C-alpha cells in the first residue's frame, strides 16, 4: 500500500499549518457536520456577499486528511463567485468518488489535486469530504435564506 500517495507533502503541510482556521464574523449560516463512524467534527460558517464567497471560517477536529482538506477548500473557495465555487465543489466531489480513476484538473483544483490519492482509500474519502459537504450545506442555506 503506497502511503506516500495518500500523505502528499501538501496535505501534511496544510495539516500542520491550516489556512483560514477559526470562526469569524460576519456570516449568514453556520453548520455543524460530524462523521458518525469516527467522530470527526467541523463547525463551519460562510459569508456570501453579492454572489461572492467572502469568507469560509471553521473550527474542526479530525485527522490530517480532513484538516488539510478543509484548509485547501478555504484557499480554493474564498473570493470566488458562488457558481464557480460550486463547480470546484463538484470537481472535488467527482475526484473523491472516482475510486482513483479520475484525473484531476489542476487549473480547477490547484492544491486539491493532492487528494487524488485519497480516492484509493475508501475509508478516508469521508474524511476528505466532511468540510466540503458542510460548506455546500451552509451555502445552500444562505442562498435559500436570501430567496425567502
Partner 1 sequence: MSIPGLLPELEVIRKDFPILERVLAGGHPLVYLDSANTSQKPQVVIDTMVDHLEHHNANVARAMHQLGAESSEAFEAARDRVAAFIKAPSRDEVIFTKNASEALNLVANTLAWRGDLQVGEGDEVVITEMEHHSNIVPWQLLTERTGATLRWFGLTDDGRLDLSDIDELITERTKVVSLTWVSNMLGTINPVREIADRAHAVGAIVVVDASQAVPQLPVDVVASGADVLVFTGHKVVGPTGIGVLWGRREVLEQLPPFLGGGEMIETVRMERSTYAGIPHKFEAGTPPIVEAVGLGAAVDYLDHVGMEAVHAHEQAITGYALEGLQSVPGLTVMGPLDAASRGGAISFELAGVHPHDVAQVLDSRGIAVRAGHHCAKPAHARFGVQSSTRMSSYLYTTPAEIDALVEGLHHTRSYFKLGS
Asked whether position 124 contacts partner 1 by CB under 8 A, the answer is: yes
E-assigned strand segments in the chain: 29-34, 41-49, 52-61
Interface with partner 1 by CB under 8 A: which range of 47-55, 61-69, 75-83, 106-114? 61-69
Tell me which residue of 115, 97, 89, 107 sits closest to 11, measured CA to CA. 115
Strand ordering across the sheet containing 41-49: 29-34, 41-49, 52-61
Question: Which of 29, 127, 129, 130 is the binder for partner 1 (CB under 8 A)?
Answer: 127
Residues binding partner 1: number (CB under 8 A): 19
101 near partner 1, rule: CB under 8 A:
no
State which of residues 39, 50, 101, 148 lies at the interface with partner 1 (CB under 8 A). 39
Q: Which of 66, 56, 77 is nearest to 14 (CA)?
A: 66
Applying CB under 8 A, which of residues 19, 20, 21, 41 lies at the interface with partner 1? 41
User: What is the DSSP code (8-state) at residue 35?
Assistant: -
Residues at the interface with partner 1 (CB under 8 A): 1, 3, 6-7, 12, 37-41, 61-65, 67, 121, 124, 127
Amino acid at each position: 500500500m503506497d502511503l506516500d500517495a495518500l500523505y502528499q507533502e501538501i496535505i501534511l503541510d496544510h495539516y500542520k499549518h491550516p489556512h483560514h482556521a477559526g470562526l469569524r464574523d460576519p456570516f449568514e449560516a453556520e453548520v455543524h457536520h460530524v462523521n458518525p463512524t469516527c467522530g470527526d467534527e467541523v463547525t463551519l460558517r460562510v459569508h456570501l456577499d453579492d454572489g461572492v464567497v467572502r469568507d469560509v471560517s471553521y473550527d474542526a477536529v479530525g485527522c490530517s486528511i480532513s484538516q488539510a482538506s478543509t484548509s485547501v477548500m478555504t484557499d480554493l473557495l474564498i473570493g470566488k463567485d458562488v457558481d464557480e465555487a460550486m463547480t470546484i465543489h463538484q470537481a472535488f466531489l467527482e475526484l473523491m468518488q472516482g475510486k482513483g480513476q479520475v484525473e484531476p484538473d489542476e487549473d480547477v483544483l490547484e492544491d486539491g489535486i493532492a487528494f487524488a490519492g485519497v480516492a484509493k482509500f475508501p475509508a478516508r474519502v469521508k474524511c476528505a469530504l466532511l468540510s466540503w459537504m458542510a460548506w455546500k450545506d451552509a451555502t445552500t442555506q444562505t442562498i435559500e435564506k436570501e430567496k425567502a
